[in-house]
Structure 1
């Protein structure tokens, strides 16, 4: 990690600490400690297992994509990528750092840059598509609830959905209307030339066109591998399910019962959509606020609500970054290239 990345990590830890301190201002600390020590740790272990499975299944997706490209791309290297993605997503605005960090990690394994970019792009496409599908289902189940509780933030949920949907539509256009999409892209970025130096604009244009070409070439391959694509979609759906289920098990650990499992998952899907719109890394502030407001109806105690929010953030945000720091120190295996 660069010095800039370390500073970003420290800043996010400080911001997180500040949010926790602010959340504790109206809480009886004695009761909080008591609630912590009376947690059902078996349910907490289930919640921990969920976030671990979330990371592991993303590694499975990478391995599935790499199997017929490089059979000697190891499980260790596949499982190393998701934590690294979590770390760099967690310290960059709008989670923009995860893709480049994964690319570097794959290059360290000896994977060709073009192939690595293609695999990561297809993984991203499938992930986005499954998020949109989950969101549509959750919208039908829980949007009335979020509209009552969050009011104006419900508009952010819809905006988040529109952005994710636009990404998917854009990628589908590349797959099926390549020439039109490429011309449209070059037309859309022309206004950038008004604000950028000519050489920088040219680098941007070339980079975007190369990404479109790479994705189109990979999409041609994937169109012939429906079985693999279906398998990746199924694994990604399972991956997201385990992530979305985490608040349910945290609340069980706190002794909260009588919850509707589907509703809890649906609300977590909507929170995920809100987080993606906040420019601060990790959606800091917005994530905690959304969780506290939406799940207050399930958790009657204000102390337990704050504790649930803290445990949720530790698992869904800080755990991934910690795992990413460990992954950075794991030496990658090198694939063997045929002469």
Structure 2
């Protein structure tokens, strides 16, 4: 992603956030809202931002862990910068598609192997989706009776989030443990889609082959180092918990600790799972609306909006500024001998794997 595109994505997110604020706040007194927020306890706001740093730190720890399995060494500062970059670019791009490509860019620019960097990032994504799904579904089962009383639109959004994440996780697990089956299924589907004139079957097959090969090799690597997979799962669980706790600091800052940390984490994990499949930068709009509906049974009408605004300010908008500054330092403070962008891009494509053809006999 060039910086011009990055600025465009940021501008689009700002516009979307502005529209969301207008819709959510148009029927509320800004003076009243500001009077509540300005009396928030700054200590808990800072605690929330610190928990977000721990959130980023868990991913940095995973990067260092996976690099260590192949004998690589990533300094803590650099690993934190990679993690900040993932948060920033995921937040400003639709469906969080920009985070990993930019992380890969910076890793390769610093001299890391493109193939191994790709494996580390794919492992992080797979484990994050798996743990977010398990976290949200587990909490949803514990709060099942409460969820049944929610509006139909939110229940459908929750089901859609579970379905989307479930399909993604199932696909990844099948690639890890049953690659031949996945290849047959994928390429048969591509051969059917190839009958449509506008569908580039060959290009799609090449991309699918590349992705299947990367995940398959990553799975073999994790089977060789099972403790790395276990430690990654534990760190990812901690990462999600820190994220939900950061949002809870909004309740503490506003003197609403009676909501209860466990209840808050339960509901926040369900909201996060529900909006994870929304194709908007940072799920802006969906996250705010989902929060207001989900927590309406635990907070009064006068408490709900200030908590939502401060919660999103800590866990997303405010931390987006922090991560942006970290990315700027990463981009400016190049490590080692700067490489030409063209060279970095060519290396970022990684190794050349076997390419599949839609017309190839997959029997």
TM-score, length of structure 2 as denominator length? 0.85
Match of 1:314 in 2: 313
Measure how far apart 1:72 and its partner are.
Answer: 3.1
Measure how far apart 1:20 and its partner are.
Answer: 1.8
Q: Write out aligned runs for 1:105-124 (5 A).
A: 105-124=106-125
Q: Deviations over 1:75-100 (max 9, x none)?
A: 22211122211222222222122221
Measure how far apart 1:242 and its partner are.
Answer: 0.8
Match of 2:347 in 1: none
Q: 1:188 & 1:27 partners in 2: Cα distance? A: 50
Q: 1:72 & 1:175 partners in 2: Cα distance? A: 26
Match of 1:3 in 2: 4
Measure how far apart 1:227 and its partner are.
Answer: 1.5
Match of 1:68 in 2: 69
Q: Deviations over 1:261-303 (max 9, x none)?
A: 222111111111121122222222211111112223333242x
SS of residue in 2 equivalent to 1:72: coil
Measure how far apart 1:233 and its partner are.
Answer: 0.9
Coordinate RMSD, CA, aligned: 2.1
Against the structure 1 CA distance between its residues 138 and 196, is the aligned structure 2 distance closer, same or farther, given a 3 Å change threshold?
Answer: farther
Match of 1:292 in 2: 292
Q: 1:212 & 1:69 partners in 2: Cα distance? A: 21
Q: 1:116 & 1:66 partners in 2: Cα distance? A: 8
Match of 2:207 in 1: 207
Q: 2:257 & 2:76 partners in 1: Cα distance? A: 39
Q: Deviations over 1:166-220 (max 9, x none)?
A: 212111111221222222221122234234668x432321122122112211211
Ranges in structure 2 where 5+ consecutive residues have no aligned partner: 338-363
Match of 1:101 in 2: 102
Ranges in structure 1 where 5+ consecutive residues have no aligned partner: none
Against the structure 1 CA distance between its residues 112 and 39, is the aligned structure 2 distance closer, same or farther, given a 3 Å change threshold?
Answer: same
Against the structure 1 CA distance between its residues 193 and 92, is the aligned structure 2 distance closer, same or farther, given a 3 Å change threshold?
Answer: farther
Checking the alignment, whether the CA contact within 8 Å between 1:248 and 1:265 is kept in structure 2 is yes
Measure how far apart 1:258 and its partner are.
Answer: 2.1
Match of 1:219 in 2: 219
Using CA pairs below 8 Å that are at least 6 residues apart, which structure has the higher relative contact order? 1
Against the structure 1 CA distance between its residues 286 and 228, is the aligned structure 2 distance closer, same or farther, given a 3 Å change threshold?
Answer: same
Q: Of 332, 335, 342, which aligns to 1:333?
A: 335
Against the structure 1 CA distance between its residues 300 and 146, is the aligned structure 2 distance closer, same or farther, given a 3 Å change threshold?
Answer: same
**Count of residues in correspondence between the two structures:** 333
Q: 1:168 & 1:36 partners in 2: Cα distance? A: 39
TM-score, length of structure 1 as denominator length? 0.91
Against the structure 1 CA distance between its residues 2 and 53, is the aligned structure 2 distance closer, same or farther, given a 3 Å change threshold?
Answer: same
Q: Write out aligned runs for 1:195-274 (5 A).
A: 195=196, 200-274=200-274
Q: Write out aligned runs for 1:22-37 (5 A).
A: 22-37=23-38
Against the structure 1 CA distance between its residues 28 and 243, is the aligned structure 2 distance closer, same or farther, given a 3 Å change threshold?
Answer: same
Match of 1:92 in 2: 93
Against the structure 1 CA distance between its residues 22 and 163, is the aligned structure 2 distance closer, same or farther, given a 3 Å change threshold?
Answer: closer
Measure how far apart 1:153 and its partner are.
Answer: 1.6
Q: 1:101 & 1:208 partners in 2: Cα distance? A: 21
